[in-house]
Amino acid sequence: MSGTSVDAVDVALLRTDGETIDAFGPAVERKYQTDERETIQQATQAARDWNWSGSRPEAAFARAREVVVSTHFDAWKMLDKLVDSAPTPPRSTYEEGMTKPRSGAEPGPKRGDVKLLGVHGQTVLHRRPRPGQIGETLQLMDGTALAHKTGLPVAHDFRTADVAAGGEGAPLAPIYHNALLDRLGGGPAVVLNLGGVANITAKLKSGDLVAFDTGPANGPVDEWVERHGYGAYDEGGELAARGQIDEARLATWLKHDWFRVAPPKSLDRYDFSANLADGLSLEDGAATLTAFSAHAVAAGLAQLPDQPARVIACGGGRHNPVLMQRLAETLPCQLLSAEEAGWRGDSIEAEAFAFLAVRTLRGLPISWPGTTGVPRAMTGGVVTRP
């Protein structure tokens, strides 16, 4: 899995039938090198300039696609080396606090146990549907090339069918979040993914799922910090911690039409950009953009039919203590990190696409009216064999 933050490829091993989680295997990340990241960012900028109008920037896409395939293959090789050497974590590690805790360790997966890869690809452009017009989404990946490199079937292209049916195309992880919540127990809850964009999966009292993008998460502040030459992100929230929130500007941002759109709904990574903070100091911009992400999540929760008792945060944003503090101050319920719930917070998105890959192989739905706005439960994805 490679998200819109373009920091690394995450890969995780999961034993599953696509309905329940049987066991967790090793997980690893393969960081992007500077030149690789720049190639993907150039393709993203080319995609934004094109925006489905005029000549498609195939040369930029081809260069980035080659990087995406090669880095995903590298990540797979890194995981493959761990398969025989790293035991599957004890079930008790992942089931602490569950309603029916189990104990003991699963036998570690062995080389040859892996039967299927699920790969999302790199999103470079996304446009939600409009009245009378279906949406568009573009992920760069070559499933055929990766299948030949790994010698394994590859499930990919998960979003196209959903978008073609009138859906948002995102988020797709909710069915996996539901499986995690089922293992955890404890009633209605929200899983909050803090990537470039923030999205939530809410399990309601009825058991139904509602999911949507709430607004920006790390994207604008990462862009702001990088623009000022202070790295790819606000490490430890240090810049935001030193800044002052521009309350008037924050209030203006929260009046954006986006927050009046009823879910399900989805965003492109650049629908909210660092340009929002133009004119502020580096620190004040980081502080205000970080606060905006937290308030956007709170606004999303307010659109739910049931208010949750707890929100469980995963994704890279949970490593930012200032963002987590702002969320704790803003949300009307308990906030937990994925680790506090006994989950692997850096691996959940990768695990989700392993889970979705099996559902694709079995012809099971991966999106629903309540998660992406499709008219009915939809299968999706393509399986390419070597």
Is 300:180 a contact under the CB 8 Å cutoff? no
pLDDT 10s digits, 253-285? 999 999 999 999 999 999 999 999 999 999 999
How far, rounded to the nearest angstrom, does the alpha carbon of residue 15 sit from its chain's CA centroid? 20
Given a contact cutoff of 8 angstroms between Cβ atoms, the answer to whether 203 and 180 are in contact is no
pLDDT score at 87: 54
pLDDT tens figures, 50-73: 999 999 999 999 999 999 999 999
Name residue, tokens 């998960």: 158
Q: Would you place residue 100 in the very low, low, confident or very high pLDDT band (cuts 50, 70, 90)?
A: very low
Homologous superfamily of domain range 8-172+351-384: ATPase, nucleotide binding domain (3.30.420.40)
The pLDDT value given to residue 97: 29
In 3D space, the residue among 215, 211, 120 whose CA is nearest the CA of residue 167 turns out to be: 211
Work out the pLDDT band at 108, boundaries 50, 70, 90: low
Averaged pLDDT, 195-210: 95
Note the pLDDT tens digit of each residue in 120-175.
999 999 999 999 999 999 999 999 999 999 999 999 999 999 999 999 999 999 99
Which token pair is 191? 């899983």
Residue 86 — pLDDT band, cuts 50, 70, 90? low
Whole-angstrom distance, CA of residue 62 vs CA of residue 65:
5
pLDDT digit string, tens, across residues 2-13 = 988 888 999 999
Alpha-carbon distance 329 to 299, whole Å?
Answer: 13
**Which residues are registered as beta bridge partners of 334?**
310
- Residue-wise pLDDT tens digits, 286-343: 999 999 999 999 999 999 999 999 999 999 999 999 999 999 999 999 999 999 999 9
pLDDT tens per residue, range 23-57: 999 999 999 999 999 999 999 999 999 999 999 99
Domain coordinates of the chain in residue numbers? 8-172+351-384, 174-341
Domain 8-172+351-384 identical in fold to domain 174-341: yes
Backbone angles phi, psi at 296, to 5 degrees: -65, -40
| Per-residue pLDDT at 113 | 85
Cα gap 103→94, rounded to integer Å: 10
CATH superfamily of 174-341: ATPase, nucleotide binding domain (3.30.420.40)
